[in-house]
Amino acid sequence: MQTPIPVTVLTGFLGAGKTTLLKHMLKAEHGLKLAVIENEFSEAGIDSQLLGDQPVQVMTLANGCVCCSIHGDLTRALYLLLERLDAGEIAFDRLVIECTGLADPAPVAQTFFIDEELRDRYILDGIITLVDAMHAELHLTQTIAQAQVGFADRLLLSKTDLVEPAAVEALRERLARINGRAAIRVVEHGCIDLAELLDVRGFNLNPDLGANLKPQLRPVLKPATPDRIGTMVLRTETALDIDRLSSFMNELLETHGKQLLRYKGVLNIAGEERKLVFQGVLKLYGFDWDAEWAEGETRESVMVFIADDLPEAKIQAGFEALAAD
């Protein structure tokens, strides 16, 4: 069976530096062969500058926008790359999809959940979001910019050299409130260690919920102008009833699925020695049994939601009602 091709989705608001970062990814000495699906209306086309004699294959969509509402065009591009790969016309071992600055990354991510053949041939590795530190305050007044932050597995701050350190720290705190599970890194003029961008395994079903995860439901001191999108964390050391859990998640997805940008859980199920892990994007999710709880390990269930304006008190109460009798 063929090894699935890892896919990195690169997003961020207009002018955040996606194309500059993409050039770095393609020029760096990493020994990888990257294929790119690029938005040809980006800040500067990469074809003529980067194709050359380097081991890179560039695929540009005819309409210039991979994740604008035309879902079919991205799917065709993905299949076309596979056809050329299987025919020996091109060679690549990773794929990078650059989204437009005003695009919602959700349709791109969902493509790799919905289509069975694409799911077998590609594996979504991570969503990387660039944040322009100089213009973040203005950008984050837009819900789509907050959503780009919410979907991310990694947040990259660009243009930090153009703002005061205190402003960068305030931005870090704000981004952590919006997305408490994404690591935050600084990218300087498109340069960053590619280990921060590749093999993120953001969509793997595993018990890693991220070192940056804040333990509280919300910060004690709410900001003066709260963002619509934020991180909600549910925790309990009480074993959960799996039937009640199923009903809870089904109702949550039915009622608030469109608000749940990203979510993940590592759960302690009554009568089961293994951890139950799950994660999803909007209404699409997967789950599996993981390793057994280690001897002496605290059997704590943790659920993390990056979501748009959830009724937190109601969801907290519903979660607390999942305890096994």
Q: Assess whether 161 and 244 both reside in one domain.
A: no
Lowest-pLDDT range, 92-106, 135-149, 187-201?
92-106
Q: Assess whether 13 and 156 both reside in one domain.
A: yes
Report the domain count for the chain.
2
Query: Is 203 part of any domain?
Result: no
Query: Is 223 part of any domain?
Result: no
At 225 the pLDDT is: 54
What average pLDDT does this structure show over 45-69? 37
At 62 the pLDDT is: 36
Q: Assess whether 251 and 135 both reside in one domain.
A: no
Kindly provide the residue ranges of all beta strands, DSSP E only, lying in 138-293, ordered along the sequence: 154-158, 183-186, 229-236, 260-268, 274-281, 284-292
Query: Is 257 part of any domain?
Result: yes
At 53 the pLDDT is: 40
At 7 the pLDDT is: 93
Q: Assess whether 100 and 142 both reside in one domain.
A: yes
Q: Assess whether 190 and 268 both reside in one domain.
A: no
At 95 the pLDDT is: 87
Range of the domain at 302: 229-320
Q: Which residues contact 199 (CB under 8 A, 6 or more apart)?
A: 6, 125
At 211 the pLDDT is: 46
Tokens 């065009």 identify what position? 73
At 216 the pLDDT is: 42
Q: Assess whether 188 and 236 both reside in one domain.
A: no
Q: What is the pLDDT of residues 134-147, one digit of tens each?
A: 999 988 988 889 99
Task: CATH number of the domain at 152, please.
Answer: 3.40.50.300
Task: Extract the tokens encoding 57.
Answer: 């294959």
Asked if pLDDT for residue 215 goes beyond 80, the answer is no
Q: Assess whether 151 and 300 both reside in one domain.
A: no
Q: Assess whether 21 and 156 both reside in one domain.
A: yes
Confidence of residue 133 (pLDDT cuts 50, 70, 90): very high
Query: Is 217 part of any domain?
Result: no
Q: Assess whether 186 and 242 both reside in one domain.
A: no
Boundary (domain end) residue, out of 178, 196, 214: 196
